[in-house]
Amino acid sequence: MKPLYITAVVTFSGKTALALGIGLKLQAAGKRVGYFKPVSTQPFISGGKVIDEDADFVKRSLGLNIPTEELSPVVIDESLFDKILHGKANRNFLDDVKAAYQKASDGKDVLIIEGGSSLREGYGVEVSPVRLIDELDLPTLGVVRYRSGIFLVDDVLALRDRVGAAGKDMLVGAVINSVPAEAMDHVKGKIVPFLERQNVRILGVLPQQHTLMSMTVDEMTAIAGGKTLVKGRGDAIIENITVGAMSVETAMGYFRRILRKLVITGGDRADIQAAALETSTTALLLTGNLNPTSTVLKHAEERGVAVVLVPDNTIDAVERVERYFGKTRLAHPEKLNRFRETLDAHFDWARFMSVFG
């Protein structure tokens, strides 16, 4: 059995996607693939249990049947956090992780271990990525999300140094994720060669994709709260957010250029709503608890556009949705397929396998 630890420098880098993408690829190659996520800070209640939504999705996608407590042995929810703060946790988290590790590796060729949401996680429960890598001798793959050229260099080198902190050479390599088209040449032509000279294998440079940054209508509805007036398609993809607070002519100019969008506007702005419905719009988020007219609802229904009404004013609604936008989960078949295609095209499998073995 070979373990592969997948970690990231910052949150929302694409760790879950990479873990799942690699897992599926190895499964396709005939390997028996296991998976677990030692530390989870994103608890989610499902069927009366606190689980990790991402981990649960990976588990299901890989067709694994693992009980929740083995999938995520350490779930830091409010109550556990409170106990830790009061010194009353009375648990050896490392032992719990090790036990889960043993169980998860049973009968597997490869065990994918997904790190927490960043390299700075897990210290509170004494199972930081660095400690885990060291204790369990985990070959590690890092995923780094592109933010800018200089951040990229710093992030990758920080990854190298953290993973190597215990003095072992455990870093298999790094994957650079979400590189915008205009930065691609710069990243591939200059940054990657530089990083390779700094002894980091760059195993993939994945282009930024709007579909992957998107959220679904269901996700948006859950985030926004409020009342669903037209259901639309819950799994339809929202790739952009626009606010309709201007004149309808100005709005039309924007709306025509922005595809698969969520339009946030006042419930009384019939003109803006009509303009949105005439362009590529996935959903309308209407604010101020002002009910739109029935004609708008009918047009929305005919076009399959979801309509959600919230009591917030427009600014608050925008803030709420934007906080989550671009950081949404992979849990959507279309997104997953797109990511697998991207991985096939831009991840150096041969080199990865030659290092990972």
Partner 1 sequence: MLESFFQPKSVAVIGASANPDKLGYAVLKNALDSGYAGKIYPINPKAGNILGCPAFASVEDIPETPDLAVVVIPYPQVPSALESCGRKGIGSVVIISAGFREAGYEGMKRETEVIQIAKRYGIRVIGPNCLGVIDTFTPLNVTFAAGTPPKGPIAFMSQSGALGTAILDWSLAGSRIGFSKFVSLGNKADISEIDLMLAWADDPHTRVILAYSEGLPDGQAFMRTARQVSRKKPIIVVKSGVTQAGSRAVSSHTGSLAGSEQAYAAAFKQAGVLRAETMQDLFDYALGFAYQPLLKGDRVAIVTNAGGPGILCTDALERAGLSLTRFESATTTALQEFLPDAASAANPVDVLGDALADRYHFALEKVASDPNVDGIIVIVTPQAMTEIEATAKAIGETAKQIGAARDIPILSCIMGEYRVSEAVDKLAADYGVPNYPFPERAASAFAAMRDYRVLRDHPDPKPTRFEVDNDHVRAVIRKVREDGRVSIGDSESREILSAYKLRIPQAKLAATADEAVAFADQIGYPVVLKIASPDILHKTDVGGVKVNLTNANDVRDAFDLIVYRAGRYVPGAVIWGCLVQEMLPKGMEILVGMNRDPQFGPLVTFGLGGIYVEVLKDVTFRVAPFDQTQANEMLGEIRSHHLLDGVRGAPPADKAAIIETLLKISQLVTDFPEIVELDINPLLVYDQGRGAVSLDMRLVLASK
Those residues whose C-beta lies under 8 Å from the C-beta of residue 89, and which sit 6 or more positions away, are 80, 83, 125
Quick one: which segment of 13-21, 84-92, 161-169, 275-283 binds partner 1 (CB under 8 A)?
275-283
CA nearest neighbour of 283 among 307, 318, 313: 307
Q: Which of 92, 102, 247, 313 binds partner 1 (CB under 8 A)?
A: 247
Q: Is 308 in the site for partner 1 (CB under 8 A)?
A: no
DSSP 3: E
User: Per rule CB under 8 A, is residue 253 in the interface with partner 1?
Assistant: yes
Q: Which residue has the tokens 């209640």?
A: 45
**Least distance (Å) from partner 1 to the CB of residue 154?**
19
In DSSP terms, 75 is beta-bridged to: 40
Angle at 328 between CA 16 and CA 24, to 5 degrees: 30
Q: Residue 228 interacts with partner 1 (CB under 8 A)? A: no
In the set 59, 162, 299, 320, which binds partner 1 (CB under 8 A)? 299
- Grouping H, G, I as helix, E, B as strand and the rest as coil, residue 110 is strand
Choice between 32 and 210, CB closer to partner 1:
210
Pick the closer one to partner 1 by CB: 170 or 277: 277
Q: Which residue has the tokens 């994957």?
A: 175
Asked whether position 245 contacts partner 1 by CB under 8 A, the answer is no
Number of residues that bind partner 1 (CB under 8 A): 30
Question: Least separation, in Å, of the C-beta of 294 and partner 1?
Answer: 4
Q: Which is nearer to partner 1, 101 or 255 (CB)?
A: 255
What residues are paired with 43 via a beta bridge? 52
Phi, psi of 258 (to 5 degrees): -110, 125
Q: Is 298 in the site for partner 1 (CB under 8 A)?
A: yes
Verify binding: residue 82, partner 1, rule CB under 8 A.
no
* Beta strand residue intervals within the chain, DSSP E: 2-8, 33-36, 39-40, 43-46, 49-52, 74-75, 110-114, 140-145, 171-179, 202-207, 215-216, 227-230, 237-238, 240-244, 261-266, 281-287, 306-309
Interface with partner 1 (CB under 8 A), residue from 46, 92, 102, 295: 295
Token pair, residue 117, equals 């949401």
Binding residue for partner 1 (CB under 8 A) from 275, 283, 285, 317?
Answer: 275
Residue pair 321/224 in contact (Cβ under 8 Å)? The answer is: yes
Per-residue b or e along 57-89, where b marks 16 or more CB atoms closer than 10 Å to that residue's CB:
bbbebbebebebebbbbbbbeeebeeebeeeee
Site string for partner 1, 40-79 (x = CB under 8 A): ----------------------------------------
Q: Does 306 bind partner 1 (CB under 8 A)?
A: no
Per rule CB under 8 A, is residue 250 in the interface with partner 1?
A: no
Q: Pick from 94, 153, 248, 355 the residue near partner 1 by CB under 8 A.
A: 248
Site for partner 1 in 150-189 (CB under 8 A): 180-182, 185
Q: Does 341 bind partner 1 (CB under 8 A)?
A: no
Q: Give Rg (Cα) of the chain.
A: 22
Least Cβ distance, residue 4 to partner 1 (angstroms): 32
By CB under 8 A, name the binding residues for partner 1: 180-182, 185, 247-249, 252-253, 256-257, 259, 268-271, 273-275, 277-280, 293-299
